Amino acid sequence: MRRTFEGWLHRYCCELTGLQTTSLKKLCRAVASKTPHAAEVVFLYALDKGKVSDAVRLASEDDLQHTWSVLESASAGYEGRAEAFLRDNYEKLGKRVQGVLDAYDSIDARAANSLVVKQQMSIAVVQLLDSAGVTRYRLCKDLGLNEGNVYAWLAGDPTKVSRATARKIWEYAEACNG
Amino acid sequence: MSQVQLQEQALLETLREIDEEVALEVGVKKRFKVIVVGGSALLLAHATSRPATHDMDILKADEALSAVLARHPEVSDQAEVYTDRLPAGFRKRLVPISLSTRAVDFLRPCLEDLAVMKLYSWRKQDQTDLLSKDMLLEIDLNLLESLIYDPSEARKSSNTHLLYDRMVETYEKQYKRKATAKKERLIAAQNRKNR
């Protein structure tokens, strides 16, 4: 299933506030009372929903209202487009607001990075297995892994094993070398 | 598993990944140090029960790690600018983050050093954190006080007298009494429960 910024933002709001709701009123109340660190995420959620003025009105604390009013002016014209607001204005935004986009981008970055790392790991594993004189077959038997997937990974296909499995194999190969 | 525990696992996984990538790309001959600060450090110290944001603040790490760290957008070394808010001797009190690693030692400031940082910021979330049950049960309030007043600690590292004085005022007027009273109540309740 395709991940969207909108869906992710909502889940992030729920995670930080501890609420399972789409109600902006409840989210704003949570920010004002017990989860102030969710302020930026809830603001962006309101922006994405086109309800920034409601959020500013619902901000019961002066500090929060001030912070959100500043963000409201900065995000004028971006109602319903929180991701575009973040991308277009990234350099001008505060660290905590930037952090929301960084967290979102880190999901794709992590997946892409993992492919590269798993390839590097497979090269290291091949060298370690060869120097220890351990066969691929023995490795698969000892770790209870699917031979086809492990062989394909060692032949250069990083999609065939998870990063956790690659790590497990790397550790095994290192242990074989004492 | 609670949300906070899940987040702790996710943070540790990020650190594990960074370590692996450093080991693969930079090598394991030299060990590097990475210091985690902010909300992530609190979470790893089990001093908060609130979920933290997904970004992780670290102090400026060795240049050799920059390529690896750049591939983790959630990890930011911009926290370096706030080292004037950490007591001068915080490096002597660093606490290792328990994680078996190949190339990188991950550390965090002790709770009392992190608390000084939070007294400087004193935003709503800092107040919530500093007065939370988890924090108060763990923090040594005597050590915190000595870090604030000792001329070789917070006073020494602070760049401006104005900021330092404001932090001391926050501590004296808004934190000290409230924290001491709440900690006493929490300990008394814990003792009653244990009896």
Per the DSSP assignment, residues forming a β-bridge with B107 are B35, B96
What single-letter amino acid sits at A79?
E
Report which of B148, B138, B146, B129 is spatially closest to residue B183, judged by C-alpha positions.
B138
Q: At what angle do helices A39-48 and A24-33 cross, to 10 degrees?
A: 160
Range A13-37 average pLDDT: 89
Between CA A75 and CA A35 the distance in angstroms is 23
In whole angstroms, what separates CA A166 from the centre of its chain? 21
Per the DSSP assignment, residues forming a β-bridge with B75 are B56
**A6, A35 contact by CB (below 8 A):** no
Which pLDDT does position A1 carry in this prediction?
60
pLDDT in tens, B116-157: 999 998 988 889 899 999 999 999 999 999 999 999 999 999
Q: Residue B39 and residue A37: Cβ atoms within 8 Å?
A: yes
Res. B190: pLDDT tops 70:
yes
The 3-state DSSP class for residue A62 equals helix
In whole angstroms, what separates CA A118 from the centre of its chain? 19
pLDDT in tens, B71-107: 998 898 877 777 889 999 999 999 999 999 999 999 9
- Whole-model pTM: value is 0.86
**A125, A158 contact by CB (below 8 A):** no
Where does chain A show beta strands of DSSP type E?
Answer: none
Q: Residue B125 and residue A106: Cβ atoms within 8 Å?
A: no
Joined together, the tokens standing for residue A49 give 């929903």
Among the partner residues A36, A102, A120, nearest to B74 by beta-carbon distance:
A102
- Give the A:B interface size as CB pairs under 8 Å: 73
Joined together, the tokens standing for residue A91 give 């350099």
Q: Is the ipTM of this complex over 0.90?
A: no
Among the partner residues A103, A110, A114, nearest to B53 by beta-carbon distance:
A103
pLDDT in tens, B79-88: 777 788 999 9
pLDDT in tens, A49-94: 999 999 988 887 777 888 899 999 999 999 999 999 999 999 999 8
Between CA B68 and CA B85 the distance in angstroms is 27
Which region holds residue B72: left if phi is over 0, alpha if psi is between -120 and 50, else beta?
beta
Per the DSSP assignment, residues forming a β-bridge with B35 are B107
Between CA A144 and CA A128 the distance in angstroms is 19
Which pLDDT does position A178 carry in this prediction?
75
